[in-house]
Structure 1
C-alpha cells in the first residue's frame, strides 16, 4: 500500500552504518513442535538512526519490527521501548536446505547433520517484480560477482535519471555484494546475494532477487553446496499445535500486488488445514480472529481456557536495554 511504500523509502533514506549481527541460530525443537526462540525487548538508543539499524543489531527485518510494534515510527525516538520479534514458528516445510518465506521476509537454512536452523532477514522483489514461489536448488556459487543490469533495470534507472554502466565490476560498490548463489530456476536470473545497500534488506525493493546482509550471505555461501534444495513459499499465516497442547498462530501482513492495497486489511489465502485447526477443540476462535486481524508477525497463543501472554511480557531483555 502507499503507506508501506513511504515507510520503505524512509527506512532506506536514513542510512546507518551499524554492523549486522550474525545469523540467529536456533536449536531445532523436538518432534511435533515448530515453536523456537523468544521475543526480545529493546530501548531505542541515541545511536539507533532508524529501524534498519536496530534490525541489523538483532539480524531481523525492519518490516517485522513494524508489524510487531504496529504504531512505531520508522525513526523511533530514543527511549522508545519496542518488541524484537525473534520468536517464531518454523515453516510447514521439510527441514532441509533453504526455505524462504516471502511473506515474513526470512530465509531458513538447515545445516545438514546439525540439529539447528539459521534464520536470516532478506529483501525481496517489489510490486510488479515479485520473487516467484518455486522449488529449485542452488545451481551455481559465484564469489565476487559482476553485475550486468537487465534492460528492464536499465530502463527504470533511466526514468530516475540514472544511467547504469554495461557491467559493474566486482567490489564493494557492486549491487550483488561479494557473494551470490544462482538458483537453478528459469534462465538462472534469480540470485540470493549480498548488496551494497544494506538498508534494503528486510524490504520489498529488489527486481526479484533475494538480498541478504553482507555477513549473512558470507556465512550462508560458506556452508551451502551446489545442489542444495531451495523452496520459496509465500505463507503469511502459520499455525502449530505444540507437544504440550498449546496452540499458536503467527500472522504476517500479506504481500500486496499493488502499492494501493492495504496490507493490514487485504485478504490472504489461509494454509491447508487452518479451518480445521480453528474449529478444533482446544482453540479459542475469538483469539484466532484477533490474531488474524492484528497481524503481529510473531506467535500468539490461541489455546482455549488458557490465559494468553500479554503483549510485551515474558520477553527477554538484551544487555543495554
Structure 2
C-alpha cells in the first residue's frame, strides 16, 4: 500500500530553490496571490523554516510568516509548540486550494481558520489567518451569507451580558464600555457584518496569541496589520460568505488530483479534532471513487489532516511516495 507524500524528491528540490527566491517576496506582499488559471484552485507555495537557537515559540514563527498557529501545528505534527527544537526544519503551509465558493468579496472557511479576500476588479486573492469563536452556546462563529454593513477605526467595545458574566467568573469585572486604546481587545479597526443584527465583526486584537485558533466570543480576529489592510481596501457592501468545510478537492488542468484536509471543528469540549469523523459530500465521494483517484492515499490524507494539498492520483510513481 502506498502512503502519503506531499513532495517527490524532484519537487522538493524545486521547492527549496523556489523558497530561497521567494521568502522575501512572500513576507513583503503579505499573503496575496494571483488567481489561478481557469479550472484551477491551487495557489501559493509551501516553504521551510529552520528553527534558530533562539527561535522562539511556534506562535512567533507563525506570526513571522503570517500563518495561523494551528495551521502551523497541523503541518508539523509532533513539534513542541512552546520551544521548537533548534535546528529542526518546519514546513510553512503557504500552499492551498481556494474554497468551493464564489470568488468575490470575502470567503471565510471556519474549518481552516482562514479568510480569502477577492478585491473587486483585480485578478488576485489575499489570504489571512483568523481566530474564531470558541466552544460554547453563544460563542460559536456561525456560517452565513451576508455583507459588510459598517467599518470603524479605533472602535469601542461593548461586551454583552454573557461575555461580562464569563469574564466575571474568572475574576475580571468588565466595564459596560471599553474605550479605544491599548486595553481594547478589538484592536484599532473593526468591520461589522450585517447578519444576526450586526453582532459579528472582523476586528484586530491587542494580544499576539490566538490567531489561527478558536479563542473569541464569536467574532473573527485578525492580526493588526491584516485588519488594517482589509479595513482600507474592503468597502461597505462587500459580500461575505462564511462556510465550514474541512476538506477541499480539485482536479487541476494538468491532471493532478488534489485533496486538502483540515481538522474539523469540535462540537464538544471532549472532542478530539484529530480523529473526529469527516463526512464526505456526494461530490467528495465521487472524487474519491473515480478511477483516477487512489482512494487509499486519499484516506491517508483524511487521517493525516495536514491542512496542505496532497496529490492522490492513482497513477503516481513509487518515487512520489513514502
Shift of 1:165: 1.4
Shift of 1:113: 1.0
1:131-180 C-alpha deviation (Å, 9 max, x unpaired): 00000000101111000111111111111111111211111221111100
Aligned equivalent of 1:34: 41
2:83 paired with 1:73: no
Give the unaligned 5+ runs of structure 2.
Answer: 1-26
Instruction: Determine whether 1:90 maps to 2:98.
Output: yes
Asked if 1:263 corresponds to 2:273, the answer is yes
For residues 250-273 of structure 1, give each alpha carbon's deviation from its aligned partner in whole angstroms, at most 9, with x where no partner exists.
000000011211111111232440
Cα distance between partner residues in 2 of 1:96 and 1:309 = 35
Work out whether residues 93 and 308 of structure 2, in 8 Å CA contact, stay in contact via their aligned partners in 1: yes
Contact 1:235 1:271 in 2 (8 A): no
Number of residue pairs aligned between Structure 1 and Structure 2: 292
Of the candidates 169, 175, 184, which is equivalent to residue 174 of structure 1? Answer: 184
Instruction: Specify the alignment match of 2:61 in structure 1.
Output: 54
Q: Which runs of 5+ in 1 are unaligned?
A: 1-19, 312-321
Counterpart for residue 264 of structure 2: 254
For residues 168 and 272 of structure 1, what CA distance do their matches in structure 2 show? 47
Is 1:223 the counterpart of 2:233? The answer is: yes
Residue number among 284, 305, 308 corresponding to 1:295 in the alignment: 305
- What corresponds to 2:204 in structure 1? 194
Give the Cα separation in 2 of the matches to 1:117 and 1:66.
24
Task: Please name the residue that 2:148 is paired with.
Answer: 138
Q: Is the 8 A contact 2:203 2:222 kept in 1?
A: yes
Task: Report the CA distance shift for 1:309/1:91 in structure 2 as closer, same or farther (over 3 A).
Answer: farther
CA distance in 2, matches of 1:91, 1:305: 26
Q: Quick check: 2:69–2:210 contact (8 Å CA) kept in 1?
A: no
CA RMSD of aligned residues (A): 1.4
Name the structure 1 match of 2:21.
none
TM-score (norm 2): 0.88
Secondary structure of the residue aligned to 1:140 is strand
1:125 corresponds, among 125, 129, 133, to 133
Instruction: Indicate the residue corresponding to 1:236 in structure 2.
Output: 246
How many angstroms apart in 1 are the aligned matches of 2:223 and 2:54?
Answer: 20
Q: How far does residue 41 in structure 1 lie from its aligned partner after superposition?
A: 0.5
Q: TM-score, normalised on structure 1?
A: 0.88
Matched residue, 1:114: 122
Closer, same or farther in 2 for the Cα pair 1:47/1:214, shift >3 Å? farther
Secondary structure at the counterpart of residue 94 of structure 2:
coil
SS at match of 1:131: coil
